[in-house]
Chain A
């Protein structure tokens, strides 16, 4: 049983029978903490639905007196972000989508193949290879951003040369594509970890039998492993989606201005030093930035937690 299954399993043992007072205390504490975890989100939502004077003049815990969706409209299409001319966060939202979708798909597919090789086609030194890929998950990215910036700079120049020669850059130097590369590379460790641990438990006899029958490497993967991999695909996709969508360090380093992803735009919007602070618009933007990952969490919570637990390596 994996850690995540243990989590959702009911307590197997007979608990000590608590007195009524103890039970009241237990429930009281649990509800109190639930409130603590929920309050920031509730305040965010309520603030985003109030006119600005009600935010600055009123109590943040009070329900909106004059319910308004204007802040949402402004955040999405009108708010000025940093020094950019683009209005609203809509464009940045799409930047993030354009970055996240290919990065998640590529890193997950590569992770699946890597996991397959590392469990069913072992070679001398497979453990070292896996260990090296695994450690890559945990490095502080500060230790790679300078070389990465240099390399991406070269790629950009190469793109310019191509544009001069052919009139088309083939995507070299495009910030979104740069971020896809970066997220694929630094996501490989986790995706490989997930699939390796999953395929480790997959019966090797089935694979051996198919080999004897003459099935090729890819046939075995496609016909035997893939049909049985739906859960781990969901776990990996959710994990990668959440991580890449929520990234800030890479986004703020390798993309600028209109090409920034959502998190960077949100930070620029909230921490702008000019004009009055429109808290309600900021909160609406923050909720929009959080919406995709929250939605994924609500729909696929079980898988989300499984990914988290697997990411702590204990599996």
Chain B
């Protein structure tokens, strides 16, 4: 019995997706693992639009330190003491980041960008980029309230992928 056309199409898409991901994994520059990723909740994405504090390219894994913007996109998120709440985004290997054009020069302090993160399981302000896309708002611009940089005209993508939806990572 033949599967319905839409089911077959979906299955083919899944197969192609899996093959592409495996190919990407095989082709990606090798990176020595420096720690387990078990601290991150890979089943969940949180999506941020934030402002770069600094890029840390010589960490064991490339890091971006940023402060999220509020939903209105007009102010920094602050901690209970009123200080900007800095999040640490664990990125891919430095080699891959450079290949994607992510450098100290392309992401200077004050850059507004959007990215999804698998957050730390304990709720602390850090996460792993996972397969999320990374979008930079044009200099001097910011998204409309509740939106992200991928919605801003003239935005720039760094590497492959789209912004995930807030919430569950697996569909």
Q: Do A and B bind each other?
A: no
